[in-house]
Structure formats: structure tokens, C-alpha cells
A and B are shown apart, each in its own frame.
Chain A
């Protein structure tokens, strides 16, 4: 699989463009599980880039159930899903 992970200060990027369900979700979940500590502490945000529309529903649903704050942004030709700590002073 050609998804790459980059830890850039407090942003963990995950590019899964080209992947479709259910792999999208599984890969994203695996990444969330891997960086659980950082994400829960608010030390990092996970940004998932996907071009699969279904993923903009499944990934946020799962992440919210796990207790994260999620936002989805439409970019040119893909979606950017941000997963981070859920609290008031969370970064936009």
C-alpha cells in the first residue's frame, strides 16, 4: 500500500487517496489507534486526505464514537478529514 505517514510537529498526515471502503476506514482507524496517545492529549491532529466520498461519513462517524473531534473540509479533488482532541480549546 502506498499510503504514507508524516509526523510534522503536531500534524500527522495520512494520504489515502485512491483507496476506497472499507480499506479507507481500516487504514485511518489503524493510524488513529497508533497515535492514540498524541491525539488524546491534543499534542497532534491527524489529517486524512481521501478522494472517496463514503469515507467522509465512515471515518468521522467512527472517530466521533471513539471520542474525537472531527472536521471535514472539501479541497480540490479530495477531502481533508481532521481528527483531534475533543475539547473547547481544540485547534481549528
Chain B
């Protein structure tokens, strides 16, 4: 068919045959376009009898469909706006959720994950999307033997893992199948709840309960042993006063007295540890407590003590207990130095607290011992030379003052104990 493009303004000259031919072409064009529009609207084309020009113009199909399209577009725009809104809400919920959420596809690639998930497991990694979840989350090259995501994909049901350790953190994980509108599983939604703190708290609780039991037992035994020990000491001293014993017997008696005294010291330590003495708070200068502790340890040997006691405010504390803390820590430092070296004592204000640090130039504490040194009865000294209670008493007392105690040590680099006591108490 010979086609001719029509002009923008339509005039209908009826005089000439040429004009009629032109009109017929134009009308055909309009009909075609109307039918095209009707097809888009999903209905049938105009019938022949409807194709005469007058009724066609009377119905105004192009006008009607144009107006309808306007409504379709309005509806689309509004739908888009609402979708965007829903998307924004969903994204906000997704990102502010207290749990890590990941959407993973059938190939175990991460499609999307929320901010919490990134914070928990992928700090510092960019472009997580598209990577395998086991690489990014578990830090391994192939899927692990026990993987809730794989199980969910295979069994087509949610899977719950009570405890999984990933990158040093403990998680509870729930995976649920992600289905498309046809019900086919296209991936997995994995929700990770960080249990690390809870787990630590539970372990600490368990430890504390164990210690309390041990403490009570120790106190009971100590008390019972104290009486016979007192008798041994008393009778040995009586015998020592007896003029009829030989010098050799006297020497042996002195050993008995000495050993009984040592036993008494151990028992005293045990009782101090187990006796939950409530601190009597008063205005205290921690600098004075340090000075008193130093005085009680006396001078002697060649240990140099450097004091850098700052201008620190008073705190509310039990002076005798604080003195005992510094005494134990200083004693520990002196023993670590084994006769030569230096101890630095520093006190200063840090934020709302006072920090007193005691640094010795001793051999340092091995890493495997560091985490245990505040445990009661933990000692590296030969049997009979220490009860392993000194530092655990310190730790208990500092805790009772709302403070904390830290240790930093390096083999060959000395050891620093820091005691932090809040000023506000």
C-alpha cells in the first residue's frame, strides 16, 4: 500500500478527487491507530460498520483512550510512590533490626544483607553482594559441613542452630526458605542473633558460682585447721622456752614454729578471700593508700621505686581495703623482680575515674597465664610459697568499689597493673 504521511492540520477539501483520495488515506491511518490503541486496551478492533467516519468521530475513541491512559499513568505513579514508601520503611526496619539478616540465593551467594549483619561479621569488607556467604561470614573457602542455609535449601524448611561460632563470635541462627510467587524456593533468609555477650555473661556467672562454692569450702576448712595449728604453734613455743632441750632440738622446734606461722598466713589469706567484707566508704586519698602500702612493705633489697603520684581528687572508698589492694599488687611486683629492678607507680585522673598503675621491670607474665591470674588459687610460685589468692582478693575488692583492674604484660617487657576507681562513688 502506498503510504503518505498526513499533515498536522487536517482540512477536508471535497472538490477534487485527489483530495478525496487524501482523505481516505488519512481516515485509514486514523482507523489503524484507533485499532492499535484498542488492541493495547485488550479489546477487539472496530467493526466495519463502526468504521464510517462520522460515528468514529462521534465516539471519540482516541480521546477516551487518551484520558484512560492518563488515569493508568496516574495509577502507576501512585503505585510507584507507595512502593517506594514501602521499600523505604522495609529498608529502615531491615537496617535497624537488632539481628543480622541476609538474603542468600541457591548458590549461597549473598543477595542482600542489613547493616547489623555487616557490623557483626563483615566489618571493613566492601561489595559483599554476589560473594559466597561462607567466604564472607565464615571465612572459609567451601561450605561448612553443618550449614543451616544448605539444610534449608535441601529440606525446604526452616532450620534453627542454637550455637554457632563464627569469627570468634557466638550466634544463634535461623534460616527460612525464600519463595517466589509460584512457591519455588529461590533462596534463604538467614537471621543471626549475636549471643557473644550473653554467653560470656553466662560463663562468668558459672565461674562466680564455682568460686563462691570453693570460697565457702575453703573458709570452712581454714577455720577448722586454724585451731589445731594454733595449738601446734603454742606448744612448740612452750617447748622452746623449756631449758632442758638440746640446741639441735631447738632448731627443729624453730622450723615447726616457722612452718606453723606460714600455715597461719595461708589460712589468713583464705579467710580474707572468703569473708565477704563490705567496704566502709569514706573520703580517701588513693595516693595516701599507695604510700601506706609502700611503708608496710618496708625497704630493703635493691628495688628502685619511682612514684609519679598526680594531683588526684578524693574518692569514696574503704582505705584499709584499698591499701590491701596496693599492698598485694606491690608485693607481687617485688616478688616478680626477684631482688633487682624498678617499680613505677603512677596515679592520674582519666575521665570520671582515677587510674593507679603499678609497673614492674620484671620478666613478664606468659600469655596463657594472663587470663587466669585473677582466679583464686592460681599461682606460678612453688608449692608453699603462695596461696594464689593475692590478686583475686585485689580483683574482688576493686569490683566492690565499682572499679576495675587490668593487667598488661609482655615476656621480657615487664608487667603493668592498672586499677581504676570511679571518682563519683
Contact = CB atoms under 8 A, between A and B. Distances in A.
Give the interface residue-count category, chain B: 20 to 34
B393 to A, nearest CB: 68
Given A22-B38, A66-B72, A66-B75, A29 B44 contact: no
A67 interface: yes
A26 B35 CA distance: 12
A59 to B, nearest CB: 9
A2 B71 CA distance: 26
B68 A32 contact: yes
Contact of B75 (A29, A30, A65): A65
A29 B43 CA distance: 12
B65 A29 contact: yes
Given A26-B61, A36-B71, A61-B41, 10 more contacts: A22-B38, A23-B50, A26-B38, A29-B65, A30-B64, A32-B68, A33-B64, A61-B42, A66-B72, A67-B71
B67 interface: yes
Interface of B: 38, 41-46, 50, 59-61, 64-65, 67-68, 71-72, 74-75, 78-79
Contacts of B71: 32-33, 36, 66-67
A74 to B, nearest CB: 20
Contacts of A32: 68, 71
Contact of A29 (B45, B46, B64, B74): B64
B42 A58 contact: yes
A53 interface: no
- Which of B50, B67, B68 has the most A CB atoms < 10 Å from its CB? B68
A62 interface: yes
A7 interface: no
Contacts of A65: 72, 75
Interface string A25-39: 110011011001000
A29 B78 contact: no
B317 to A, nearest CB: 65
Contacts of A26: 38, 59, 61, 64-65
Interface in A45-63: 54, 57-58, 61-62
A66 B67 CA distance: 10
Contact of A62 (B42, B44, B46, B61): B42
B416 to A, nearest CB: 67
A22 B68 contact: no
A58 B42 CA distance: 6
A18 to B, nearest CB: 14
Contact of A58 (B43, B45, B67, B75): B43
Nearest to A59: B43
Closest 5 A/B residue pairs (Cβ): A67-B75, A66-B71, A33-B67, A22-B43, A21-B44
Contacts of B42: 57-58, 61-62
B148 to A, nearest CB: 37
A26 B34 CA distance: 11
Contacts of B60: 30
Contacts of B72: 65-67
24 contacts: A21-B44, A22-B45, A22-B46, A22-B61, A24-B43, A26-B38, A26-B59, A26-B61, A29-B41, A29-B65, A29-B68, A32-B71, A33-B64, A36-B71, A54-B44, A58-B41, A58-B42, A61-B41, A62-B42, A62-B68, A66-B75, A67-B71, A67-B74, A67-B78
